[in-house]
């Protein structure tokens, strides 16, 4: 009787130790493999154009200015006149560099050249510069956008958070456009809207969850173009096309060429 109770309590201790060890191992794994990157607080303001202030305190009364005056203020501070009034950022999701720039120092295949004649003519005439950026996996939309606009490498946990995107906290170029009084319009992947809520004066978000849809996701972006290009109330227009990315998801890499030959 007494010996069995000893084994019983010993068993309980061993079991408790095993559970403890397992939770320790699990937390080590989670914190080791999914380090969260803390957002750096603070954003660049007008003080970064001025000589360092002795007390280290800036003058943030600029934030209260109306957008037009804010734009003017930054214009004067930077002392550089912009060569262009407006900027269009067009993202073609899932477009391999070899379609546009070729591969292994060889020009792209004839079919690819014919598919994008305008881009190719710009490259050929030296009006466009082509360059390749190597992205580290995971190459899902949200970490890529974060990397593009903030210049920082995304944390691995961003993949898990891709489906639960929150507003971007780090200083970034879209935020800077917003804080310096630029008006922005966005049509396309609604990840932009989640990362920069309230930053756009007009937007039409397309959900990237319609993976089977390769036509409407692009049409819903292009249908605004005629109207947007006639308006002059924006400074930055973002277009994010998802169709090609969805083609890639549906049939893999070879599907691109297959579709291309059929159409
Ligand atoms: C802060 O900016 C406002 C408006 O630009 C100016 O009137 C004020 O003198 C500035 N304060 C300091 C401490 O520079
Ligand atoms: C495209 O726009 C139409 C009409 O606004 C909408 O019903 C449809 O769901 C949109 N498609 C996608 C993929 O967002």
Over its length of 263 residues, how does the chain's per-residue pLDDT go in tens digits?
556 666 888 999 999 999 999 999 998 887 777 666 677 777 887 777 776 666 555 555 666 778 888 888 888 888 888 888 899 999 998 888 888 888 888 888 888 888 889 999 999 999 999 888 777 666 678 878 888 888 877 666 666 665 566 788 888 899 989 988 889 999 999 889 988 999 999 999 988 777 788 888 899 999 999 999 999 999 999 999 998 888 888 876 665 544 444 33
Instruction: Give a yes or no: residue 166 inside a domain.
Output: yes
Same domain, 1 and 81: no
Instruction: Give a yes or no: residue 55 inside a domain.
Output: no
Same domain, 136 and 225: yes
Q: What is the pLDDT of residue 152?
A: 78
Q: Estimate the share of the chain in helix, then strand, then coil, as percent rounded to the nearest 5.
A: 50, 10, 40
Q: What is the pLDDT of residue 132?
A: 85
The residue count for the chain: 263
Q: What is the pLDDT of residue 150?
A: 86
Predicted TM-score of the model (pTM): 0.75
Same domain, 87 and 216: yes
Same domain, 255 and 138: yes
Instruction: Give a yes or no: residue 16 inside a domain.
Output: yes
Q: Which residue is closest in CA terms to ligand 2's atom 14?
A: 206
Instruction: Give a yes or no: residue 59 inside a domain.
Output: no
Q: Is the Cβ atom of 59 under 6 angstroms away from ligand 1? A: yes
Dist. CA 4–CA 11, nearest whole Å: 10
Q: What is the pLDDT of residue 185?
A: 96
Looking at the 3D structure of the chain, how many domains does it have?
2
Distance 220 CA to ligand 2 centre (A): 6
Instruction: Give a yes or no: residue 12 inside a domain.
Output: yes
Cα torsion 249, 254, 255, 256 to 10°: value is: 90
User: Are the beta carbons of 213 and 230 closer than 8 angstroms?
Assistant: no
- Domain with 246, as residue range(s), is 64-97+132-262
Helix (H), strand (E) counts: the chain: 13, 4
Instruction: Give a yes or no: residue 119 inside a domain.
Output: no
Q: What is the pLDDT of residue 261?
A: 41
Binding-site residues, ligand 2, Cβ < 6 A: 206-207, 210, 213, 216-217, 220
Same domain, 1 and 83: no
Q: What is the pLDDT of residue 263?
A: 35
Same domain, 213 and 173: yes
Instruction: Give a yes or no: residue 52 inside a domain.
Output: no
Instruction: Give a yes or no: residue 153 inside a domain.
Output: yes
Same domain, 12 and 86: no
- Ligand 1 atom showing the smallest separation from residue 57 Cα: 13
CATH code: domain of residue 76: 3.40.720.10
């Amino acid at each position: 009787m007494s010996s069995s109770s000893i084994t019983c309590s010993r068993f309980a201790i061993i079991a408790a130790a095993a559970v403890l060890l397992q939770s320790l191992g699990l937390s080590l794994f989670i914190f080791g493999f999914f380090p969260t990157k803390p957002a750096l607080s603070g954003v660049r303001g007008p003080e970064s154009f001025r000589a360092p202030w002795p007390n280290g305190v800036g003058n943030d009364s600029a934030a209260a200015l109306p957008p037009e005056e804010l734009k003017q203020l930054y214009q004067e501070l930077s002392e550089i006149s912009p060569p262009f009034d407006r900027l269009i950022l067009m993202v073609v999701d899932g477009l391999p560099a070899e379609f546009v720039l070729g591969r292994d120092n060889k020009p792209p295949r004839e079919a690819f050249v014919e598919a994008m004649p305008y881009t190719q003519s710009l490259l050929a005439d030296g009006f466009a510069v082509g360059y390749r950026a190597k992205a580290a996996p995971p190459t899902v939309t949200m970490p890529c956008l974060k990397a593009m606009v903030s210049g920082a490498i995304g944390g691995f946990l961003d993949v898990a958070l891709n489906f639960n995107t929150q507003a971007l906290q780090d200083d970034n170029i879209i935020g800077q456009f917003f804080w310096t009084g630029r008006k922005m319009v966005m049509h396309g992947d609604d990840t932009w809207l989640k990362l920069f809520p309230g930053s756009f004066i007009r937007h039409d978000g397309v959900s990237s969850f319609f993976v089977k849809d390769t036509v409407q996701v692009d049409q819903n972006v292009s249908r605004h173009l005629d109207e947007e290009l006639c308006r002059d109330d924006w400074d930055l227009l973002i277009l994010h096309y998802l169709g090609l990315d969805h083609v890639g998801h549906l049939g893999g890499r070879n599907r691109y060429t297959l579709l291309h030959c059929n159409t």
